[in-house]
Amino acid sequence: ADKDALVEALWGDAYDPRIHDRRIYMAVNRLRQRLGDDAGEPRMVITTPDGGYAIGRGLRFVWFA
């Protein structure tokens, strides 16, 4: 997902790098820690070349309300 989509889904805002880049970085870091994913060589939450994020190959997330 690109940063625009993440910000809309997580906070319901329009993406502004001055406000959201640090929030996104911290949220992804916390998620990786909780999943036991290595930030140096992530396998579950992967940073894409365009600066967005993707779920690792063969993984899927299930959302609980």
* Containing structural domain, residue 28: 3-55
Provide the 10 A C-beta neighbour count for residue 44. Answer: 17
Rounded to whole angstroms, the Cα distance separating 28 from 20 reads 12
pLDDT (0 to 100) of residue 64: 72
Instruction: Report the number of distinct structural domains present in the chain.
Output: 1
Total-model pTM:
0.77
Q: Is residue 50 part of a domain?
A: yes
**Residue 21: closest CA among 35, 7, 36, 42:** 7
Q: Is residue 61 part of a domain?
A: no
Q: Is residue 46 part of a domain?
A: yes
The CATH number that applies at residue 50 is 1.10.10.10
pLDDT (0 to 100) of residue 59: 79
Digits of tens for pLDDT over the chain (65 positions)? Answer: 889 998 999 899 999 999 999 999 999 999 999 999 998 999 999 999 988 899 888 777 777 76
pLDDT (0 to 100) of residue 62: 75
